[in-house]
Amino acid sequence: MKVAVVGATGMVGRTMLQVLEERAIAIDELIPVASAKSKGLEVSFKGKQYPTVTLADAIDMEIDVALFSAGGLVSKEWAPRFASKGIYVIDNSSAWRMEEGVPLVVPQINMDVVQKSNKIIANPNCSTIQMVMALAPLHQEFGIKRIVISTYQSVTGTGKAAVEQMVDERNKGESTNMVYPHPIDKNCIPHCDDFTENDYTKEEMKLVNETRKILGDESIAITATAVRVPVVGGHSESVNIEFGTEIEVSKIRQILENTEGIVVQDDLAANVYPTPRGAMNKDEVFVGRIRLDHSLKNTINMWIVSDNLRKGAATNAVEILEKLKIK
């Protein structure tokens, strides 16, 4: 099997290489792909150095699967060109997620929506992936009516330059390369991605639209506020969920404990609950602070944390690759 990693020199691309190596997937040939200006730059995989090639080079190299993490514009232009060659494209950008006929996949939830004819498969947004991992089994059991989401998102979700801005501010008091419109160190910025016409950000609307698509239920009422916080390691979410039927917290806890990919950390007496530092470099989604909302019937609050570069991006894409029936 020939696998290309498009955007191999970026944060998510490098994490994809790491996850591919950790999972010992039977790859006969790895093809790292980067921009023209980065052509020839070497990346490490399984103890060897591989020089990057361009998209124009890679498309004719008889690839089986291409993991894309190079931004929406690149994906819009090149994913169809790769797909036309019979190459499966697992795309990490937002370019194809809401496109009709393109599966939006979290393997533990809805891998069954992928057909052999689907050459482009969309990887959901990082904050959506971790949330729906916890919501899907609960929706199946109780039926979700409404979700109120507040996110606390790592700077790694923006990329390397954002991490550098935070580090510069922390070490030097200021940064000369401002990725955010405000300082991020010792600050919280309620502004993830661009604002849209309805005064919500694109990130907030991704949580709304992608959640409905993955769960296959357009009737769920969803509202979100996405906040950037000065941490690395993972995204955190406070999620308020109203169900359509009678619930029991003990049953909800039992369902989550028995769900693949979920780790319940919820021992208040011992101060055990998920944190982004605790989730860093791990593939699981961590859930805690599970409790009734006493202001509304059949409603709970949960705290959900996951490493946004791994399960929120790279790991989910690699898990799709693992479950694909390529040949």
pLDDT at 130 over 60: yes
Neighbouring C-beta atoms of residue 183, cutoff 10 Å: 18
Q: Which of 209, 213, 25 is nearest to 109 (CA)?
A: 213
Kindly name the residue from 126, 139, 182, 294 that is annotated as catalytic: 126
Strand partners, 262: 285
pLDDT at 327 over 70: no
Q: Which of 12, 214, 230 is nearest to 129 (CA)?
A: 214
Tens of pLDDT, residues 197-230: 999 999 999 999 999 999 999 999 999 999 999 9
Question: What one-character DSSP code corresponds to residue 298?
Answer: T
Tens of pLDDT, residues 252-288: 999 999 999 999 999 999 999 999 999 999 999 999 9
| Superfamily per CATH, domain 128-308 | Dihydrodipicolinate Reductase; domain 2 (3.30.360.10)
Q: Characterize 269-284 residue by residue with b for buried, 16 or more Cβ atoms within 10 angstroms of its Cβ, and e for exposed.
A: eeeebbbbebbbebbb
pLDDT over 90 percentage in the chain: 95
> What pLDDT was estimated at residue 222?
98
Tokens of 246: 């009678």
Neighbouring C-beta atoms of residue 115, cutoff 10 Å: 9
pLDDT at 326 over 80: no
Domain ranges of the chain: 2-123+313-323, 128-308
> What pLDDT was estimated at residue 36?
87
| Superfamily per CATH, domain 2-123+313-323 | NAD(P)-binding Rossmann-like Domain (3.40.50.720)
> What pLDDT was estimated at residue 325?
76
pLDDT at 172 over 80: yes
pLDDT at 308 over 90: yes
Kindly name the residue from 139, 182, 192, 235 that is annotated as catalytic: 235
> What pLDDT was estimated at residue 40?
87
What's the farthest any 2 CA atoms get from each other in the chain? 59
pLDDT at 235 over 70: yes
Domain 2-123+313-323 and domain 128-308 have a common topology: no
Q: Is 154 left (phi over 0), alpha (psi -120 to 50) or beta?
A: beta
Tens of pLDDT, residues 16-41: 999 999 998 889 999 999 998 889 89
Mean pLDDT over the full length of the chain: 96
Q: Tell how far CA 258 is from the center of its chain.
A: 22
pLDDT over 70 percentage in the chain: 99
Q: Tell how far CA 144 is from the center of its chain.
A: 22
Burial class (CB in 10 A: 0-12, 13-18, 19+), 195: exposed
> CA 44 → CA 31, 38, 79, distances in Å?
11, 15, 25
pLDDT at 313 over 60: yes
Contact 179, 158 (CB under 8 A): yes
pLDDT at 126 over 90: yes
Is 188 a known active-site residue? no
pTM of the entire structure?
A: 0.95
Element (H, E) at 3: strand 2-6
Is 126 a known active-site residue? yes
The residue behind tokens 């361009």 is 54
